[in-house]
C-alpha cells in the first residue's frame, strides 16, 4: 500500500512524480510485528519514529525533538543501513543534530542502538521512504545530507528507481540551507556518472569529485561505511562527490 502520511497537502505539483514513487506500509497494520518493530515502538520510541509519527515533526525537528534553536545545524543521513557511519557521525559531531531515514526495521534499530550505545543524544531515526522526503522537512530545514551507497538500479529499465535524479536534487535544494552539502558515495560507476550529469546541471557546486576515493586527497577524512568495506575488500573503487548548495 502507499502511505503519504498526513502532510500530503504540503506536496507541490512538481513533486507529484516523487510522491508516486514512495511506497511504504503502515507499521500498525503488521499482523505479526517482529522484535525490531517492537523495539521501534517501545524501547526506542523516544529515538525512533514510525511513518505516522515522523511527518508530524515537519518544520519542527529543532524545536520539538532536539529542543535547540533555529540556528542549530540539523543533518540527515538517507539509508543508514546498519548505522556505522550514523553512529560515528553522531558521536563525532555532538554540536550538530543528526537524523536518519531508513526504510527497513532491522537496520533502523541497528543504527539508533549503535549511536546511543556510544553515548549520542543528538540523534533520531525514522522509518520512511526517502522519496517522500518533502513530507518530513520544510523548506530550508536541513543542513548537510549524507547519501552513501544508495541502491544503484543498474539495468536501464530500473533507472527510474534511482533516488538521485533531477527532481530529487531539486527537492534537496529546497530543503537545505545555503552553504550546506550533499555527501555522496557509491560503488556503481554507472550510477555515479548518472548522478554527476544531473548535479552538473543543477544549482549545486561540485566541491569534490573522484572515481577512486581511497586514492584521492579526500581519503584521509573519509569514514568507511559497512557497504564501502564490502566493496573495497573486492577491489572495487569508490566514487565520491561533495556538492555544495550555494
Ligand atoms: C546499500 S545500503 C547502504 C547502507 C549504508 N549507507 C552504508 O553505506 O553502509 C542502502 C540502505 O538504504 C535503505 N533504503 C533503500 N531505499 C530507501 C528509501 N527509499 N528510503 C529510505 N531508505 C532506503 C536500505 O534499506 C538500506 O539499508
| Pocket flag, ligand 1, residue 129 (CB < 6 Å) | yes
pLDDT tens-digit series, residues 49-64: 999 999 999 999 999 9
Within 10 A of 84 (CB to CB), how many other CB atoms are there? 21
The average pLDDT across 8-16 equals 43
| Pocket flag, ligand 1, residue 118 (CB < 6 Å) | no
pLDDT value at position 19? 54
| Pocket flag, ligand 1, residue 55 (CB < 6 Å) | no
Q: How far apart are CA 180 and CA 182, in angstroms?
A: 7
pLDDT value at position 22? 67
pLDDT tens-digit series, residues 80-103: 999 999 999 999 999 999 999 999
Ligand 1 pocket mutation, candidates 2, 48, 79, 130, criterion most atoms within 8 A of CB: 79
Nearest-CA neighbor of 92 among 72, 112, 122?
122
pTM above 0.75, yes or no: yes
Active-site annotation holder among 151, 165, 187, 190 = 151
| Pocket flag, ligand 1, residue 79 (CB < 6 Å) | yes
Measured between its terminal Cα atoms, the distance across the chain in Å is 38
| Pocket flag, ligand 1, residue 81 (CB < 6 Å) | yes
Sorted by sequence, the CB contacts under 8 Å of residue 39 that are 6+ apart come out as 48, 109
- Work out which ligand 1 atom sits closest to the CA atom of 130: 20
pLDDT > 70 fraction of the chain, expressed in percent and rounded: 91
Nearest-CA neighbor of 86 among 72, 73, 76?
76
What would the grid cell of residue 174 be? 529546497
pLDDT tens-digit series, residues 113-139: 999 998 899 999 999 999 999 999 999
Sign of CA dihedral 192, 197, 201, 207: positive
Backbone phi, then psi, for 107, in 5-degree steps?
A: -65, -30
For the CA atoms of the chain, what is the radius of gyration? 17
In the residue annotation, 165 being an active-site residue is answered as no
pLDDT value at position 24? 86
Q: Between these two residues, 4 and 154, which has the higher pLDDT value?
A: 154
- Domains defined along the chain, listed by start: 8-244 (3.40.50.150)
pLDDT tens-digit series, residues 147-156: 999 999 988 8
Amino acid at each position: 500500500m502507499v502511505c503519504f502520511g498526513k502532510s500530503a497537502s504540503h506536496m507541490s505539483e512538481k513533486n507529484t512524480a516523487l510522491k508516486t514513487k514512495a511506497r511504504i506500509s503502515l507499521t500498525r497494520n503488521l499482523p505479526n510485528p517482529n522484535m525490531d518493530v517492537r523495539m521501534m515502538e517501545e524501547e526506542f520510541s523516544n529515538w525512533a519514529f514510525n511513518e505516522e509519527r515522523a511527518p508530524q515533526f515537519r518544520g519542527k525537528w529543532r524545536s520539538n525533538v532536539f529542543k535547540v534553536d533555529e540556528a542549530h545545524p540539523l543533518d540527515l543521513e538517507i539509508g543508514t543501513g546498519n548505522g556505522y557511519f550514523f553512529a560515528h557521525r553522531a558521536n563525532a559531531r555532538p554540536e550538530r543534530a543528526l537524523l536518519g531515514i531508513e526504510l527497513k526495521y532491522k537496520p533502523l534499530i541497528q543504527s539508533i542502538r549503535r549511536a546511543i550505545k556510544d553515548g549520542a543524544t543528538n540523534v533520531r531515526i525514522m522509518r520512511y521512504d526517502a522519496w517522500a522526503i518533502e513530507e518530513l522537512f520544510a523548506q530550508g530545514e536541513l543542513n548537510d545530507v549524507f547519501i552513501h551507497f544508495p541502491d544503484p538500479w543498474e539495468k536501464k529499465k530500473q533507472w527510474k528507481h534511482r533516488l538521485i535524479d533531477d527532481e530529487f536534487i531539486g527537492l534537496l535544494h529546497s530543503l537545505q540551507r545555503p552553504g550546506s552539502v550533499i555527501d555522496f558515495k557509491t560503488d556503481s560507476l554507472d550510477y555515479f556518472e548518472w548522478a554527476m550529469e544531473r548535479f552538473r546541471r543543477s544549482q549545486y557546486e561540485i566541491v569534490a569529485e573522484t572515481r577512486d576515493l581511497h586514492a584521492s586527497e579526500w581519503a584521509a577524512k573519509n569514514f568507511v561505511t559497512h557497504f564501502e568495506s564490502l566493496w573495497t575488500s573486492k577491489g572495487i573503487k569508490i566514487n565520491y562527490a561533495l556538492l555544495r548548495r550555494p
